[in-house]
Structure 1
Amino acid sequence: MSSEQPCPVPSTEQIPLTVEPTTIISQGARPTIKVPVVLAEPTLQIVVESTITLNPAATEIKRVAKNVFLEQVKLVPVAFTRIDGTDFFKITRGKLFVAGHIRKNIEYATKGCNRKLRDRIADVPFSGFADITTFLTPPIIGVSEDSKAAFLNEQNGLVPRLDKFFFQNLVKYNEQPFGELVAANFFEVDFSPVTVQPEEPFSTLTEKIVLDLTVKVLQTQQLKFSATQQITSPPQGTVGS
């Protein structure tokens, strides 16, 4: 039996701390906030076909991992309703332009016994548009205006002055609708365009992809709502006693 003792480890006993509830003071409030608001959350079906070369040639496709990268989500308004008493408009219909690419990571086996798996990364681009006719919250847009006033010649009231004008320009800076990626659901068929026998290599892969792409379309808007304002009140000191 060994006479060696285990090495000591330093430790510190922890002191228990008291716990007291913190007082919360509540009062009614109607705050105004500026936050991103969801305008629409459509699912777009994108259908693409691509041809990818494999070097070295493959004998079997093992796995295909996919991701979506969006480069563009733009809403173009095409129909409007004026907001009463203002020169702002609600957008009631718009064209949603979407562009991006599918990043594919193809793992495949090459000819021969006990060969290493190969990897091929390919970006498959796509683009298109969708007609958005229903909004969860309508986007808002303000239209800029230009005005121009002309003057008569002071010495001859029958002709205008071409060297004197009054200009007025009203520019409204709108919040740009933007997009966020939510989900991507892939359905695809991958095959060699030329039928090959088992263990026979092929260097071209044809892919037919159906992508159900869900995106959020948002716009930063200013909102006013009823809420309960809560103030944390710690224990009072000398001033409050």
Structure 2
Amino acid sequence: MTEVPLTNEPSTPFATFARFIKVPAVLAEPTLQIVVEADIALDPPALEIKRVLKDIFLTQCKLLPVAFRDDIRTPGLSPREATRAKLFVEGFIRKKIEYSTADCNGVIRDRIADVPFSGFTDLRDDDDDFFLLPLLGESSRSSSSRFINQKNSTIPRQDQYFFENSVFYNEQPYCELVSANFFELDFSPNHVDANETFNKLREKIVVDLSLTVLQVRQIDLQTQAKK
């Protein structure tokens, strides 16, 4: 099939003015070092490892603030900037192992194994870990009011109360994968001679995992334009 050249002309974008927008904002971009060790069974036994490919999967990435700056507050919303937080991560390394067996002219075997990991790291404003501090609105404690008994002003009413409480629903910070650098040592836990097979592979893995921590925030375009 012959490709036909097509003409193109610039189009006028449809846009409306908005002073405030709500977009993901980058809070931090840490690089975590993950160290794991695992034994992987090989069936049928391997004679030689040909290639190992790796990917990393995050199943959990949660930011837990543990310290706040109290000098920035707005009446009614009471937002607080977190100056220190724990970043909890959990996931697994997926390994794709290709190896040959003792069979002459045999096929290359494929073994897929998931190596789990979990841990946490400390993010601190004092160490310049944050580009932008996490912002959390504070909910108020519930309060109640009592009423006087209209028929007997010396006692309170037992059947009428006024209750009040407010809840602020925050945007949960979340993570995105950026890059992963793998360093590993693979070997048989039991010594084998030349041309002997082994049915277990021990792996020591170090991963430098880079993440982006984000939080959806409201941005004032008018304020940004003045800067």
Output the TM-score relative to the length of structure 2.
Answer: 0.83
C-alpha separation in 2, matches of 1:39 and 1:192? 43
Q: How many residues align?
A: 210
Which residue identity is paired with 1:80? F
Residue ranges of structure 2 left out of the alignment (5+ in a row):
none
C-alpha separation in 2, matches of 1:48 and 1:205? 14
Alignment pair present for 1:73 and 2:61? yes
Alignment pair present for 1:179 and 2:179? no
Which whole-Å deviations, capped at 9, do the CAs of 1:125-162 have from their partners, x for residues lacking one?
11111111131101111111222222344445554433
C-alpha separation in 2, matches of 1:227 and 1:75? 31
Which whole-Å deviations, capped at 9, do the CAs of 1:6-36 have from their partners, x for residues lacking one?
xxxxxx9x9xx8x8x999xxxxx98322110
Alignment pair present for 1:84 and 2:80? no
C-alpha separation in 2, matches of 1:153 and 1:214? 65
Which residue identity is paired with 1:89? R
CA contact (8 A) 1:30 1:224 kept: no
Which residue identity is paired with 1:102? I
Alignment pair present for 1:52 and 2:47? no
Which residue identity is paired with 2:36? V
Are the structure 2 counterparts of residues 120 and 81 from structure 1 closer, same or farther at C-alpha, using a change threshold of 3 Å? same
Which residue identity is paired with 2:34? I
Are the structure 2 counterparts of residues 22 and 194 from structure 1 closer, same or farther at C-alpha, using a change threshold of 3 Å? closer
Structure-2 residue corresponding to 1:39: 27
C-alpha separation in 2, matches of 1:22 and 1:174? 39
Structure-2 residue corresponding to 1:210: 206
C-alpha separation in 2, matches of 1:30 and 1:116? 62
CA contact (8 A) 1:182 1:214 kept: yes
C-alpha separation in 1, matches of 2:106 and 2:174? 47
Alignment pair present for 1:122 and 2:113? yes
C-alpha separation in 1, matches of 2:74 and 2:47? 70
Moved more, 175-184 or 30-39: 30-39
Which whole-Å deviations, capped at 9, do the CAs of 1:24-76 have from their partners, x for residues lacking one?
xxxxx983221100001001111111110000000111110000011111111
C-alpha separation in 2, matches of 1:153 and 1:201? 90
CA contact (8 A) 1:149 1:167 kept: yes
3-state SS of paired residue (2:132): coil
3-state SS of paired residue (1:200): coil
C-alpha separation in 2, matches of 1:158 and 1:60? 92
C-alpha separation in 1, matches of 2:60 and 2:196? 41
C-alpha separation in 1, matches of 2:157 and 2:57? 58
Structure 1 residue 114: Cα displacement: 1.8
Residue ranges of structure 1 left out of the alignment (5+ in a row):
1-11, 24-28, 229-241
CA contact (8 A) 1:191 1:205 kept: yes
Which residue identity is paired with 1:222? Q
CA contact (8 A) 1:41 1:215 kept: yes
3-state SS of paired residue (2:56): strand
Are the structure 2 counterparts of residues 196 and 22 from structure 1 closer, same or farther at C-alpha, using a change threshold of 3 Å? closer
Moved more, 47-56 or 74-83: 74-83
Structure-1 residue corresponding to 2:136: 141
Which residue identity is paired with 1:195? H
C-alpha separation in 1, matches of 2:112 and 2:11? 56
Larger Cα Rg: Structure 1 or Structure 2?
1
CA contact (8 A) 1:37 1:220 kept: yes
CA-atom RMSD in angstroms: 2.7
Identity %: 55
